[in-house]
Structure 1
Amino acid sequence: MSRTYVVTGAASGIGKATAERLEADGHRVIGVDIKDADVVADLSTGEGRTALVHEVEQRSGGRVDGVIAVAGLVAASPVTVGVNYFGATATLEGLRPLLAGSDAPRAVVVASLAALEEVDEGLYERLLADDEPGARQEAERIGTATNAAGSSAIYSTTKKAIAQWVRTHAKDPEWAGAGIALNAIAPGVIETPMTAAALESAEGRAALDAGAPSPLNGPAAPPAAPAALLAWLASAENTHVTGQIVFIDGGAESIRRPERI
């Protein structure tokens, strides 16, 4: 049965691969991105988030079956706070009413293996308090420092926060109580424009391998791998998986914290 999905970040990387997979399976996809998409919206701004909801409502006729929030940035910048956390939560909450008309409503967001890194506690606290001005101020304080893999405390903190948001809210009456499965995936290293620069240098590859050792099938997965997982979690077949952070990382999470079950 054909379903209607909203995919943010649909112009490139994991989002594009997910949209293409769903369309190949016969589903309708409303793609969202800052350019080259059905709905053009800047999710780092309140105006862009409002436009996203309005445009999707108009294009869908007020009903969607799945929301897949992929859009994200790795830049050491307050804009990353706006997209990775507040843009993602606004997408999920803003489109949740449109899921109510589906027989099998599903929502998934992309977190990251980077959520296992040390977080900036000041930023993390402001994110979980839903304080965007305060979170942006904390990001300004953190600054633009990155590691050899191009990642920063801003990125890892936003990804841990969005994973925690899923864990906190998936069980709520508005989500599980309304029959809506809400999950996140946590990719390791994926071959996307976001990781291209790091994968091109020996120093970058070493940094990626240090944080995301991948004994299964090599250091970087193609976007099709997380796309397949997202498609299943957002499908009608997923009747009972909710509130989970599913790692898709070649084994990195199990190496980094083997005591966790």
Structure 2
Amino acid sequence: MEAIVVENLTKHFRKAYDKTLKGFFISLAKGEKRYKEFTALQDVSFKVKQGESYAIIGKNGAGKSTLFKVLSGIIYPDSGRVEMNGKVAPLIELSAGLSRDLTGAENIRLNCAIFGLSKKRIDEVFDKIVAFSELEEFIHTPVKFYSSGMKARLGFSIAIHIDADIILIDEVLAVGDKDFKKKCYAKMEELRQSGKTLVVVSHSLKPLRKICDRALILDKGKVLDIGEINEMIDKYQEDKKPKKKKKGA
């Protein structure tokens, strides 16, 4: 059974030609077109099996974050179809779901409730979330006093304890110390072994070899290739190497 089905997904954005107010009014007075349209995703299609760990790799600007926002329901495609079969936990910007003025403890309870956990279930996972985040000393401190690394710890810890079927992970481990990252990757492997479906974006390709089964390579908004994780990473790294100029060229 497929956990995720994406068919012919296309997403366009508008970009202003001139971002200055003066330029805007000059273009308006002349009747000129003030925006140019660019395609972030074009005819993207892929399937992720239930219980599979799937990586999306590509250069900056390839469309990875746009694809994740579509999968998360944050933005909608202009055309195409997205089918998510299960409860989804998007770990895109971990601190985005945290309220600055609430304490870490209050944020845990609020976010768990938003994701549909009962009060009883929240009580059951509360201590586990705090322990995993390693923020025991600061859990009753308002989040506005947390560092970016502390927010990432709390956000990741909440997301992995909300009983989701599909977990979307987009560069969330870019912040944090080495030991905590290692702990997070180990947890992701544990989730994978328990039958959860993972979709991961990361510039750190080495861990993906261990935790992912397959990968999709995105290039300028298009699917370049799909295949076994090691094969796709090797291909991506080979394509990134500078091409040698032919003699006499």
Pairwise same-fold verdict (TM > 0.5): no
The TM-score with structure 2 as length reference comes to 0.35
- Structure number with greater Rg is 2
Q: Which has the higher helix share?
A: 1
Q: Which has the higher strand share?
A: 2
